Amino acid sequence: MAGISAAGGRTVLYDFKTRKQSQVSRPLSGYPTWSRDSASLFYVTFGDDLSWWRLRMRDRKTERVTALKNKRVFQWFATAPNNSLITTHNVVSHEIYALDWEAP
């Protein structure tokens, strides 16, 4: 099972057989998401190294999927049927409008 540690806010795995928890990432991280075949765990790191990561379960190798610094995407993501990652594009407007409404 994957989750976020209560003390520290890092992605962790819990092994039900050994009843032990292991930390997946050192930096603050979150949004753990399993691949459709459960062969990989995806997560995002926060702070100076804002990135999406993949942990391959067979050999516990971690690899950066993409760095998110200076990209206008949400940190949230999900896996698509082909195990690619999907997210939403963050479009922000800094313009403020006022609307005066008069009922007929």
Can you give the residue ranges of every domain in the chain? 2-86
* Whole-prediction pTM: 0.74
State percent of the chain over pLDDT 90: 36
Joined together, the tokens standing for residue 2 give 């994957």
Q: What angle do CA 72, 76, 80 make, to 5 degrees?
A: 105
Q: What is the pLDDT of residue 39?
A: 92
> How many other C-beta atoms lie within 10 A of the C-beta of residue 49?
16
Question: Which carries the bigger pLDDT value, residue 102 or residue 42?
Answer: 42
Q: Is the pLDDT of residue 90 over 80?
A: no
pLDDT tens per residue across span 37-81? 899 999 999 888 888 899 999 999 999 988 887 766 666 777 888
